[in-house]
A = this chain, B = another copy of it.
Amino acid sequence: MPEPPPTPNARMICKLDSIFPLSEEERQVLEHLPVLVKRLKADQEIVSLGERPQQCCLVLEGLTCVYKLSYAGRRQIMALHVPGDMPDLHSLHLAVMDISIASVSSCTVGFIQHEDLRRVCERFPRLTAAFWRETLVDASIYREWLLNVGQRDAYTRLAHLMCELYTRLSAVGLTDERTFELPITQDELADTLGISAVHVSRTLQALRGDGLIETARKRVTVPSWSKLQEAGEFDPLYLHLQGRHAA
């Protein structure tokens, strides 16, 4: 649905608006929020555990991840964020970061000051609700990932993740027919799914062998959506892509 963004904030506004229709005034206010745009290479830290940021991050291009390390040094990626997402919106009300955020691919991100966000939320309570809702959808995704990691085998888990990414990228207009860019390594997929990189490799081969996905240099194509969806036990309900009043 959305066009390439003319201003940095457009991505965010478009996403908010799609499920929570904004008034012209609200849209204007958001449009004029000051944003500091930054380009990043792959694997750069954006915010770190323990910090007390004064700003929120907004993904404009590329892929970012939220992660944490166990004491044994194993990394769990607990979220992947696509353009339009705000990976650390929660820092608005949680003083200290309990996670780290990094770029996965090279990407461009924007930073919006907490005080600016707070100001617009005060003036427009509906925007508070819209941002709050965004953090609730994030939480819903964490829940689904817990189900994924806790109860599904590697094959189903990977299929599920592919379905989710396809769906979320689709929602922001970043899929092309039946394919999408997935600028991520198998190592990162492993940390996301809680399995080893070797096993990711084998599992991807299994999915390819079963004709559920095709991969060619960081690009995934889905020959049959319904088959992949079934293999991944994917029900998009938890993404809450319909607004409050939709079926």
Given contacts A125-B128, A233-B70, contact A93 B136 (CB under 8 A): yes
Q: How many copies, total?
A: 2
Docked CA distance A98–B66 (Å) = 22
The interface-forming segment of A21-29, A73-81, A204-212 is A73-81
The interface-forming segment of A1-9, A144-152, A181-189 is A144-152
| Shortest distance from the beta carbon of A73 to any chain B beta carbon, whole Å | 10
For the complex of A and B, list the 9 residue pairs with the smallest distance between their C-beta atoms, beginning with the closest. A150-B194, A142-B142, A139-B139, A98-B238, A74-B151, A76-B150, A93-B133, A76-B147, A78-B146
A residues contacting B by CB (< 8 A) are: 50, 66, 68, 70-72, 74-76, 78-79, 90, 93-96, 98-99, 122, 125, 128-129, 132-133, 135-140, 142-147, 149-152, 156, 193-194, 233, 237-238, 240, 242-245
Please list 25 pairs of residues, one from A and one from B, whose beta carbons are closer than 8 Å in the complex, sorted by A's number.
Answer: A50-B237, A70-B152, A70-B233, A72-B152, A76-B146, A76-B150, A79-B143, A90-B136, A93-B244, A94-B136, A94-B140, A96-B237, A98-B143, A98-B144, A98-B237, A125-B128, A138-B139, A139-B139, A142-B142, A142-B146, A145-B146, A146-B149, A149-B194, A150-B194, A151-B194
| Shortest distance from the beta carbon of A198 to any chain B beta carbon, whole Å | 16
Docked CA distance A79–B144 (Å) = 12
Most chain B C-beta atoms within 10 Å of own C-beta, residue among A98, A137, A146: A146
A137's nearest neighbour on chain B, judged by CB, is B94
